[in-house]
Amino acid sequence: MISVMDMVMVTAVASSVVAATSVAKLTESAILVPYIEGEGVVESPVTAGEDILVVWNLHKRTECPGTNRRVWRGEDGFLLFEPVGKTTLPATSEPVTYRVQTHIPDLAPPGRLTLTIDGEYKCPNEPVAEFEIGPQ
């Protein structure tokens, strides 16, 4: 069985209960409030090839266009980058809960498996703001 701490569109790992906590890490120090931050939770063990429901609590603060992708890391150097796509969540004044169907990679090895969401926002007249939502 694979345990996933899944954090977004999900993140973290434990033996039987998986909980994910994350804060977006922005590379631009000029930005005081992150454009996006949050956490995702999976409360049971998962297996390769399984579809699971990840409950995300996310707060997106910008309407700027951006891109993101899922990045999976696991035992024995397992690393899988999913295709880059456009960010689609709307900006909100408060955190919002999303339930996201997530497919555990078929080739994921047994043991620790972590999912991060890596991306960037491109606001006019501002530097690109990169982010990673995942385990801290």
Locate the domains of the chain by residue range.
2-133
How many Cα atoms sit within 13 Å of 46 on the Cβ side? 31
Question: Mind listing the pLDDT tens digit for each residue in 39-72?
Answer: 877 777 889 999 998 888 899 999 999 999 999 9
For residues 44 and 17, the answer to whether their CB atoms sit within 8 Å is yes
For residues 23 and 20, the model is more confident at 23
Q: Is the pLDDT of residue 13 over 70?
A: no
Q: pTM of the prediction?
A: 0.72
Helix, strand or coil for residue 36? strand
Which class in CATH covers the domain with range 2-133? mainly beta
For residues 134 and 11, the answer to whether their CB atoms sit within 8 Å is yes
